[in-house]
Amino acid sequence: MSVSKLGKFAVVGLSAAWLAGCSTTATESDNSAVAEEGAATETTESADDMAASDDATYAAGEDGAVSSVIVEDEEAMAAQMQDVDPLAGVSTVFYFDFDKSIVRPAAREALAKHADFLINNPDARIVLEGHADERGTREYNMALGERRAKAVMRYLTIQGVAASQIETVSFGEEVPVAFGHDDASWQLNRRVEVRYE
Amino acid sequence: MKSKFVLVVLMALLTLSIPARAQLVIEITSGADQLLPVAVVPFGYTGSTPLPEDVAGIVQSDLLRSGVFQAIPRENMLSLPTSAKDVFYRDWRLLKADYVLVGNVDANANGTYRITYELVNVLTQKRVGNKEALDVKPSNFRDAAHFISDKIYEQLTGIRGAFSTRILYVTAEGNKAAPTFKLQVADADGYRPQVVVSSQEPILSPSWSADGRYIAYVMFRNRRPNIFIQELATGKQQQLAQFRGLNGAPAWSPDGKKLALVLSKDNNPEIYTLDIATKKLERMTNHYSIDTEPSWEPDGNGIIFTSDRGGNPQIYRLDVKSKSVERVTFEGELNTRARLTPDGRYLVTVQKNDGNYHIALQDMKTGRVQVLTQTYLDESPSIAPNGSMVMYATTENSKGILAVVSVDGLVKYKLPSADGDVREPAWSPYFK
């Protein structure tokens, strides 16, 4: 747990250093090596890592309007946790279309791994935290974030996970991980995060 | 491009060094053509200690923001009378002023000040109303000024002024990835902000009780949303709803006894009412869609709310007694978070058209709809208690700010803030 506290923020310009940092996490599954245990207390930091990494895949090469991003050095931490954590490397963040709450096919493999883990560890508890992008009103987005979390919950319970292991919570648009006002940022913010309690 | 970046950095530094001065500032961005010309003459004062505030200056700002008046600039004034008998009417006819406000401040023996003021009509050369006097403490100068503005506004328009009201809003300050959320209360002009609650977790949906003594809001605790009510004067806080799932959108009933709120404890978001004294909960809607953002009709007989039961979000009306529901909005791709003017005549919504979110006004009698704003990502409309203005949240230069538009759409101004993102304005009722 305390390992995540070692994760330090580093603010860097849109520079070679940033691009190099992101190139090591070019795929979704790599991105989400943000460790579950650590994420439980430091979720916003892990989310930053997500945002920064995915900016590379979604928005790299754009006009350079983004002048700075926040990157967290978590690679060492992720490597350490791989030895002990059967879910290391499994995505904990799942994305949604605008105004939609349908679990994407791309999410199925990772969700199946979470389902297996939860079935094999009936004492394990997760919170599914739903989020929306900034467009639309705040309380409606609270409802939309919950609808997304419930969609993921439904997917997991269909796999055989007990409903009692899952809680859904919505943050609406209140906790974005990307701060632009564009499609790339909005896509990153429309998400459900799996948090192990 | 480069110079812009430097400017941004400088502003950030300034903000850090003078947080105490980071207050909302009024900007008039456009105005109506037919504005009543008023001269607000600097109030007389012969004392030696400086006055805490320029009362006439505050009154002038208030009147300008109302969108009803235009001010005669001080530097153009040919004389500076401090009482009605000293007004030389030809001076003001030359300046095309219809009305002149004159006043005087005197120090009392007990540390308070006596502020006297008179409004005169240049055409009739007569005083409008009486010569009025207020005894105020130095800390209440702004209150006195807003009081005078309210009186003048009412005398000249027949509508009660709302300058003495206050606003609640939420700021998100600091690191965008881990901001500090603050629920703040300030005068309606943005001055004298005070932090009501501060948290590292999100705060949203502030709402006033009908008498303005209490507020309700949503605040996350341990990563879950809870509804709190709080007495403003004492700060006494009470947690009212912490059910599993959503606890959102609290809205005080006009009689002050109940909160309408949104809970998803019975699966999906539904509107409930909660009796604050007895804690009795009553479910008001029953639909598998999203039902949220309740707001009471002024008479308390109906609750308007947002629902996507028709496919996309629109505004519906719930009859509190029968619980029957009827659709209210039909124009626009969607309409959300509706509020009614105090007379029930107009419905203000966040409407989406061609991908843009703006504040729209629907005439409940004729059904006519007018889009009031052209700013970006407009949300959270809140109506002044006299029904004249709508305050809302918008995004400018990637920053959340508050803006105001008159219900006729002709007058607009912004309240920019140096303290991070500002959002979720809630305009208070009258306090008496």
What's the ipTM? 0.90
Residue B316: list chain A partners with CB under 8 A. none
Query: What is the arithmetic mean of pLDDT over B265-270?
Result: 95
The tokens of A18 are what? 């940033």
Residue B290: list chain A partners with CB under 8 A. 140, 143-144, 147
- Please report, for chain A, the start and end positions of each structural domain, with discontinuous segments joined by +: 3-196
Nearest Cα of chain B lies from the Cα of A65 at a distance, in angstroms, of 10
Find residues 268-327 of chain B whose CB sits inside 8 Å of chain A. Answer: 268-269, 290, 292-293, 306, 313
Residue A138: list chain B partners with CB under 8 A. 204-205, 379-380, 423-424
Residue A146: list chain B partners with CB under 8 A. 245-246, 264, 269
Query: What is the arithmetic mean of pLDDT over B146-166?
Result: 97
Between the CA atoms of B220, B226, B232 and B233, what dihedral angle is there, to the nearest 10 degrees? Answer: -100
Residue B75: per-residue pLDDT: 95
For residue B407, what are the contacts with CB-CB under 8 A and spacing of at least 6?
Answer: B341, B346, B348, B361, B372, B383, B387, B388, B389, B390
Of B244, B249, B357, the CB nearest to A135: B357
Domain A3-196 in this protein, CATH class: alpha beta
Which pLDDT tens digit goes with each residue over B188-246? 998 999 999 999 999 999 999 999 999 999 999 999 999 999 999 999 999 998 999 99
- Alpha-carbon distance values, B340 to A10, B210, B272, B294, B360 (Å): 47, 14, 19, 11, 12
Residue of chain B whose alpha carbon sits nearest to that of A168: B245
| Interface-testing mutation among B308, B379, B399, with chain A (most A C-beta atoms within 10 A) | B379
Strand B356-363 vs strand B346-353: parallel, antiparallel, or unpaired?
Answer: antiparallel
The tokens of A114 are what? 């979470």
Residue B224: list chain A partners with CB under 8 A. 169
Domains of chain B, first to last: 23-157 (3.40.50.10070), 166-427 (2.120.10.30)
Task: Give the C-alpha separation, B62 to B188, whole Å.
Answer: 9
Of A139, A176, A195, the CB nearest to B205: A139
Between the CA atoms of A75, A79, A84 and A85, what dihedral angle is there, to the nearest 10 degrees? Answer: 50
Residue B225: list chain A partners with CB under 8 A. 142, 169-170
For residue B360, what are the contacts with CB-CB under 8 A and spacing of at least 6?
Answer: B331, B332, B335, B348, B349, B350, B351, B369, B370, B371, B372
Which pLDDT tens digit goes with each residue over B332-373? 999 999 999 999 999 999 999 999 999 999 999 999 999 999
Nearest Cα of chain B lies from the Cα of A132 at a distance, in angstroms, of 14
The tokens of B199 are what? 């948290």
Task: Give the C-alpha separation, B78 to B61, whole Å.
Answer: 21
Which pLDDT tens digit goes with each residue over A135-175? 999 999 999 999 999 999 999 999 999 999 999 999 999 99
Q: How many CB atoms lie within 10 A of CB A112?
A: 14
- Please check the confidence at residue B20 and state whether its pLDDT lies above 80: no
User: Which of B187, B224, B427 shows the shortest CA–CA distance to A168?
Assistant: B224
Residue of chain A whose alpha carbon sits nearest to that of B333: A136
Interface contact A139-B249, CB threshold 8 A: yes
**B113 interfacial to chain A (CB closer than 8 Å):** no
- Please check the confidence at residue A64 and state whether its pLDDT lies above 80: no
Task: Give the C-alpha separation, B71 to B388, whole Å.
Answer: 19
Contact A94, A104 (CB under 8 A): yes
Exposed/middle/buried for residue B223 (C-beta within 10 Å: 0-12, 13-18, 19+): middle
Residue A177: list chain B partners with CB under 8 A. 177
Q: How many CB pairs under 8 A join A and B?
A: 102
Query: What is the arithmetic mean of pLDDT over B407-431?
Result: 87
